[in-house]
Amino acid sequence: MYRFIYFLIFAAFLDTHAQMPVLSPWAASLGASPFMVGLIIGSYSLFNITGNLWAGLIIDRKGFQKPLALSLLGITLIIFFYSLLSTPGQIFILRSLHGILGGLLIPSTLCALNSTGQSNRSFSMFGICIGLAALAGPLLTGGLAGLFNYQVAYLGLGLALLPGTILSLKTQKLPPVCNSSPFLSPREKFKILAGNPFLIASFYFALGLMGGTGTMMLFLPLHLESLGFSPAITGLFFSLFALGAILTLIFWPILSSGKSREIILIYCGLFIAFFSLLLFPFLPVFPLILTVITYGVGFGLVFPGLIKIISSSPDYQKGITTGVFFAFYSAGVAGIPPLAALIWDYWNLLPSFTAFFLGMAAFSKGYLTLKNAKISDPQTAVKSSSGTAPRQHPYQQKDQHQ
């Protein structure tokens, strides 16, 4: 009945992943410096953070249905507008607006999924939809850019998003779980959130993981272009990353069965991803293919575990929790790749080294947060951080007195 939600998740992440093989070389072909390319890539995620936090407040108060439908419509129109751009500055401006709408869309899709029930299978399917988007998107845009040009690639992507835009209207019939809750001020919700070590650790893990993924998204196309490969081949490399993630996600419900098993998988996945990233600049083509797939395996071990932890938050603050999580998720892409580009420009340190060290720092912070908390699972953390039951909205209190 609710399988269309998976298509909406696919469409939401198709928008992001389809641009991986084309955005960097397109901006560079228009005269953008490495730092400007990093700024263009990071601008999406920088403004995405604002959209994520805004989404959290809106979803808790108004529900996820309208933000989902309106943001997907706006993104589809923006994708079509990309085909009209001709300077790096124009790309930067439109991509910033794109980031705000993307920040509204992604948390809304997770709340839509949570409204239909939670299970290890649904967390895995959320990741598989992302993996399929990461598989199909680069093949679509990379192929169109190779056969025609970058503008045609964006037109094709816009057409691919249209069915999802239409389907998003069906979300109006979904149960409004993310806002069917007692009234709490945003300050109180942030206070409860800050008292949950599993949520705090998941934010650090997302920051490190997406910093590495963003660095790969930015520099792998440039590296492959320097080796003489076309955008179509670059798209194939990103699809191999997605293939590694999908194969891992299929087995994730089995691997994660058991108390707090997802934490062990997160640790293993982060180590696999970070050390794979460290090897990228030094490998010839065939080992590089295997390393990209291995990075996808690491991503597949980490991501559904993070989604499971986030989904353990109470209904009355799911919007805020989801928004803050994706804000950290976006901050990894917004902050680490431009910083890596800047260090590369001025000190000639390879971007993968910068991303590795910052990623390990984020992992260490998350690990120490959990170690010091001495709480064994996310559900226990929810109970301990919530304290007393939240007060009810004044109108709900009035109805009970009547």
Q: For 4-32, how does the pLDDT look when each residue is reduced to its tens digit (9 = 90+)?
A: 888 989 999 998 888 877 888 888 888 88
pLDDT attached to residue 76:
94
Tell me, what CATH number does 106's domain have?
A: 1.20.1250.20
Cα(89)–Cα(111) distance, integer angstroms: 34
- Least confident range from 10-14, 83-87, 170-174, 239-243: namely 170-174
Percent of the chain scoring above 70 in pLDDT = 88
Residue 99 domain flag: yes
Predicted local confidence at residue 157, as pLDDT: 93
Helices (H), 168-260: 186-194, 197-226, 231-255
Angstrom distance (rounded) from CA 263 to CA 260: 6
CA atoms 144, 145, 146, 147: torsion sign: positive
Average pLDDT of every residue of the chain? 82
Q: Classify residue 400: in a domain, yes or no.
A: no
The total number of residues written for the chain in this structure: 402
Contact 367, 201 (CB under 8 A): yes
Q: pLDDT at position 394, please? A: 37
Best-predicted range by mean pLDDT (1-10, 70-79, 310-319):
70-79
Residue 386 or 58, more confident = 58
> How many CB atoms neighbour CB 73 within 10 A?
19
Are 263 and 57 a contacting pair, CB within 8 Å? Answer: no
Mean pLDDT of 306-322: 83
Q: Is the dihedral of CA 144, 41, 24, 27 positive or negative?
A: positive
Tell me, what's the pLDDT at 334? 78
Model confidence over 350-379: pLDDT tens digits?
Answer: 888 999 999 999 999 999 999 887 665 655
* Beta carbons of 351 and 340 less than 8 angstroms apart: yes
Q: What pLDDT does 385 receive?
A: 54
Residue 160 pLDDT exceeds 90: yes
Question: Is the model's pLDDT at 177 over the cut of 80?
Answer: no
Indicate whether 402 belongs to any domain.
Answer: no
* Structural domain containing residue 207: 4-171+185-386
Number of domains in the chain: 1
**Does a structural domain hold residue 133?**
yes
Q: Answer for the pair 68, 108: CB distance below 8 angstroms, yes or no.
A: yes
Q: Which of 271, 272, 254, 256 is nearest to 307 (CA)?
A: 256
Q: Check whether 145 has a pLDDT greater than 70.
A: yes
Backbone angles phi, psi at 12, to 5 degrees: -60, -40
Share of the chain above pLDDT 90, in %: 25
Whether the pLDDT of residue 183 is over 80: the answer is no
- For residue 205, pLDDT beyond 90: yes
pLDDT value, residue 386:
53
* Tokens, residue 202: 């998941």
Q: Is residue 267 part of a domain?
A: yes
State pLDDT tens for residues 268-303. Answer: 999 999 999 988 888 888 888 999 999 999 999 999
85 within some domain? yes
What is the pLDDT at residue 25? 84
Residue 182 has pLDDT above 70, yes or no: no
The predicted structure's pLDDT at residue 266: 95
Let me know if residue 159 belongs to a domain.
Answer: yes
Q: Is residue 180 part of a domain?
A: no
Tell me: pLDDT of 390 over 50: no
Q: Which residue is associated with the tokens 């998720």? A: 329
Single-letter residue type at 190: F
Confidence of residue 97 (pLDDT cuts 50, 70, 90): very high
